[in-house]
Structure 1
Amino acid sequence: MFTQEEIKGFKDELPLKGIQMIKSRTGISRPTIYKFLEGEEIRLHLAEKIWKEGWLIIQEMKEKRAELKRHAEEVLNKEY
């Protein structure tokens, strides 16, 4: 279902604690998540859950970074 390239891109974008975050949000074991990230076959419904939750985490991170960047720019551009 997922190509090696897709999984690699997914893995590269996950934050350092991404695997732990996926585990805590889905209840899927770390070994199963690692198998998915290494391109090994796992049950389709588990792969879909990992994929969906991982992209949600990545999107949340991007939004947080953008918010922090906006805040930093506001602070730096503020005249005292």
Structure 2
Amino acid sequence: AGRISGGFFACNKKIFNYLVNSDHMMLEEEPMRQLLADNELMIFKHDDFWHPMDTYRDYKLLNNLWNNDQAPWKIWNE
């Protein structure tokens, strides 16, 4: 399976060394390229359930899974 960027970043304060004060700066462009070049960029491989919740359709689908006790992300016992 391929990999995606889920849009979540965990950074320490060194990230600010890679950012410029500009209305045109985009984190996913030059700062990420430089972090990669400096060997400061890593990924977390997550092979369990993942689904976006960007739309009302996603909201309904995920809530339906939850309400029918079929939520694959619920890994705890009550």
| Shared fold, TM over 0.5 | no
Return the TM-score normalized by structure 2.
Answer: 0.31
Greater relative contact order, per chain length (Cα 8 Å cut-off, separation 6+): 1
The answer to which structure has the higher helix fraction is 1
Return the TM-score normalized by structure 1.
Answer: 0.31
Query: Which is greater in Rg?
Result: 2
